[in-house]
Amino acid sequence: MNPSPEALLRQQDEQWMREAIQLAHSALYITSPNPRVACLIVRDGRVVGKGCTQAVGQDHAEVQAIKDAKARVPAEALRGATFYVTLEPCSHYGRTPPCVDAVIACQPARVVIAMRDPNPLVAGRSITKMQQAGIEVRSGILAEEALALNPGFISRMVTKRPWLRSKIACSMDAKVALADGESKWITAAAARADGQHWRARSCVVLTGIGTVLADDPLLNVRAVETPRQPIRAVIDRRFIIDEKAALFNGGPVWLFVEDRALTAAEQQKEARLVQEKNARLIKIPLSDRHGASEALDLRAVMAYLADNEINEVHLEAGPRLNAAFLEANLMDEVLMYMAPKIIGPGREAFALSPLQRLSEARQMVFFEQQLVGTDIRLSARDAQRWQAMLAAISE
């Protein structure tokens, strides 16, 4: 039986949308805090314009595509074309004018959208506006693939907090270090280089003061070409970080400390770090969770990050902080590089309390596995949270 016209049209839409999503990957490192978006303008079976969202304050994908098309074909050729956009065009004035108006002005016949924008300032308004202008709009084409490009932005819009991804390097018996803390290097060079990509796409690379004191890491992006470095951030409740720490290398560093009055010496230290090291001290209340009276409220940390337009948080921390984020139900994804080594007694990835029953275990789902050099990269995420976000962009 031959496919129906509707089935053929959907196949065509998926083909072009897949190309648009691939194009959006080229903007992976540059758009924050905006989402990574691409737009293709298709006329008579060929692309006449394409574009990606640029750095903040510059053109969005639709405007880029329209400019590209007008440089290739007469402006009237856009009339009756089809726009393929990986996210619903914006409908509000922000750092740039509404993209939906630029799209409508081209008088396309159809606009195909991968996912609706859950931003309360958009939330379907652009779709309605285009439909009222006589444009056929189809949404939900490869929505999950588009979501994978922007989990942080969608999370921030839907749940008011960033998407947190914990990167862990471990042995086959799930040890992240020897008993004495030695961990360099469990995984091979290829896996370590691959991990740089995940730093580069994040807005913040977050760690704990224990890791800073033990390893003195830079936490910056290396081995990947990127026009911007993510912010480095440290959970440092007692404000004991060394002013000579390697991560103070010119880029911004955020320090999350306990919300209390600083001593005179600490005030002087803060002033030096702010003036000389591009640091920011952020006071966070202590957690009221049972047994966590001396820990910062990690939900308040995440709320602060969301308020400052942080989309993706890349956590590279020790067992205690990993466990704290997991127990606070704030860990959305685990990026695990597993080396073909067996260490024996050593440090676990999560310093968790023993469970009484196996049914109490935190359940995640694997969604990707990839051989990287001699190691394997395993990706798992919170399926319930993922489905909630997918529902929000598909309504």
Residues belonging to the active site? 62
Of 158, 153, 91, nearest to 124 by C-alpha is: 91
Q: Is 74 annotated as a binding residue?
A: no
For residue 277, what are the CA distances in angstroms to 215, 236, 272? Answer: 19, 16, 7
Q: Is 147 annotated as a binding residue?
A: no
Q: Is 250 annotated as a binding residue?
A: no
Q: Is 222 annotated as a binding residue?
A: yes
Q: Is 211 annotated as a binding residue?
A: yes
Give me the sheet containing 231-235, strands edge to edge.
Answer: 279-284, 253-258, 231-235, 204-208, 312-315, 163-170, 333-338, 375-381, 365-372
- Alpha-carbon distance 361 to 308, whole Å? 33
Residues ≥6 apart with Cβ < 8 Å to 384: none
Q: Is 322 annotated as a binding residue?
A: yes
Q: Is 319 annotated as a binding residue?
A: yes
Strand partners, 335: 167, 379
Q: Is 161 annotated as a binding residue?
A: no
Of 97, 163, 188, nearest to 332 by C-alpha is: 163
Q: Is 116 annotated as a binding residue?
A: no
Q: Is 320 annotated as a binding residue?
A: yes
Q: Is 381 annotated as a binding residue?
A: no
Q: Is 199 annotated as a binding residue?
A: yes
Helix axes 151-159, 383-394, angle to 10 degrees: 80
Q: Is 214 annotated as a binding residue?
A: no
Q: Are 315 and 322 in contact (CB under 8 A)?
A: yes
Burial of 345 (0-12, 13-18, 19+ CB in 10 A): exposed
- Alpha-carbon distance 393 to 51, whole Å? 22
Q: Is 321 annotated as a binding residue?
A: yes
Q: Is 323 annotated as a binding residue?
A: yes
For residue 185, what are the CA distances in angstroms to 95, 165, 166, 170, 242? Answer: 44, 21, 18, 10, 24
Of 315, 320, 337, nearest to 165 by C-alpha is: 315
Q: Is 183 annotated as a binding residue?
A: yes
**Whole-number CA gyration radius for the chain:** 23
Cα torsion 178, 180, 181, 186 to 10°: value is: -30
Cα angle for residues 252, 118, 282 (degrees, 5° grid): 25
State the binding site: 60, 90, 99, 169, 183, 185, 199, 211, 215, 219, 222, 316, 318-324
State the binding site for substrate: 183, 219, 222, 316
State the binding site for NADP(+): 169, 185, 199, 211, 215, 318-324
